[in-house]
Amino acid sequence: MQSSDSSFGTVPFPPDKIEDKFYQLEFSSLEEKSRIIKEIAGMIPWQLRIQEVADELKDPTLRVFARSVSPAVHSERISYRYSLLAEKGHPNHYDDLEEGVFLLSSVIDPDLSYLEFRTYLDRVALRVEELVDLNEDLASDEVKVHFLTRVLSQEEGFGGNHDQYEDPNNSYLHKVFVSKKGIPISLSVIYLLVAHRLQLPLYGVNMPLHFLLHFESSEFQTYIDSYHGGVMLDRSTCIRFLKANGFQAHERYFTHASSLTILKRMFRNLIHIYRKKEDRDMEKVLSRHLLALDNKWKP
């Protein structure tokens, strides 16, 4: 099984420089604070909680100060990491998707543990791999897809939240891990992250109204609807869905979506939900990070 982040735990990390930066920040002028916060945000690996870094500082007084500014550093780091992702453009290998959706979850839970987040996905992928190994003689690509959907939809119980579709928690993966309920794009991302670990050729399809998945190998192709229990669809069914909802069956609706495209759609979904709820604070926070994904954030 391919590791989701083989460098986790061995990321170069300059604690002494971080301590110096927090010290500078504590005694800086108002004009300098914003710049120094940005510098600190760019130095701390995305897998680490800002609070953990603050707790490791040697000076107890500085630790207290660092904890007090950790929310600002955390928010700045999210935008900084998204700006780096935006610079990469639209590759659809999904190497950055896990970071992107983890950071989205951390918007509402800054203390979220990446180790726990990653471990859950690793465990699910290992279960799929186990089924493939136990049925090695029969494990065609079609069978592998069946095992993937079986584990996620039946064993893990992931499915659509039909009763509370516009609950914001449907879009935060760490919440979906617990509730097992989500919307098409968040559930599809879970499928993608598990498939990525297993090196399966599974891709997101940014279809209007309903995000889908596309498995495409030399021996088997199918579309997958994660929202409805991982049901497999042929292209003609997808075309009928488009036409029934007033869309022409344009090829762009079947293009494989990049990590950047997926993240932008998730952010826009959430911004729309919070706007309807009149939660201006969350709308503002998410809109700022979306600017970074749109390559419009100015560090």
Q: What is the pLDDT along the chain (299 residues), one digit of tens a residue?
A: 775 554 454 445 677 889 999 999 999 998 899 999 999 999 999 999 999 999 989 999 999 999 999 999 999 999 999 999 999 998 878 999 999 999 999 999 999 999 999 999 999 999 999 999 999 888 899 999 999 999 999 999 999 999 999 999 999 999 999 999 999 999 999 999 999 999 999 999 999 999 999 999 999 999 999 999 999 999 999 999 999 999 988 999 999 999 999 999 999 999 999 999 999 999 999 999 999 999 887 65
- At 62, list the tokens: 């500085």
Enter the tokens of residue 245.
């909802």
Asked if 205 and 223 touch (Cβ cutoff 8 Å), the reply is yes
Q: What is the pLDDT of residue 3?
A: 59
Angle between helices 114-134 and 97-108 (to 10 degrees): 140
Q: How far apart are CA 159 and CA 226, in angstroms?
A: 7
Confidence at residue 46, expressed as pLDDT on a 0 to 100 scale: 96
Vertex 147: Cα angle to 157 and 172 (nearest 5): 40
Q: Is 172 in a helix, a strand, or coil?
A: coil
- Closest to 106 in 3D by CA, of 38, 166, 174, 37: 174
- Torsion-angle region of 263 (φ positive above 0: left; ψ -120 to 50: alpha; else: beta): alpha
Taking the CB of residue 29, how many other CB atoms lie within 10 A of it? 6
Residue whose tokens read 């500078």: 24
DSSP character for 258?
Answer: P
pLDDT at 299: 59
**What DSSP string describes 50-112?**
HHHHHHT-S-HHHHHHHHHHHHHHHHHHHHHHHHHHHHH----S-TTHHHHHHHHHHHH-TT-
Virtual torsion, Cα 171, 177, 178, 181, nearest 10 deg: 50
- Show me where the domains of the chain are located: 15-88, 96-294
Contacts of 79 (CB under 8 A, 6+ apart): 41, 288, 289, 291, 292, 297, 299
Predicted TM-score (pTM) of the model is 0.94
H helices within the chain, ranges in order?
Answer: 15-26, 30-43, 50-55, 60-88, 97-108, 114-134, 141-149, 173-179, 184-197, 235-244, 259-276, 280-293
- How far is residue 270's CA from residue 286's CA, in Å, rounded to a whole number? 8
Quote the crossing angle between the two packed helices 114-134 and 184-197, to the nearest 10°. Answer: 70
Position 230: which residue type? G
The pLDDT value recorded for residue 15 is 75
Specify which residues 213 forms β-bridges with. 204, 224
Rounded Cα distance, 102 and 98, in Å: 6
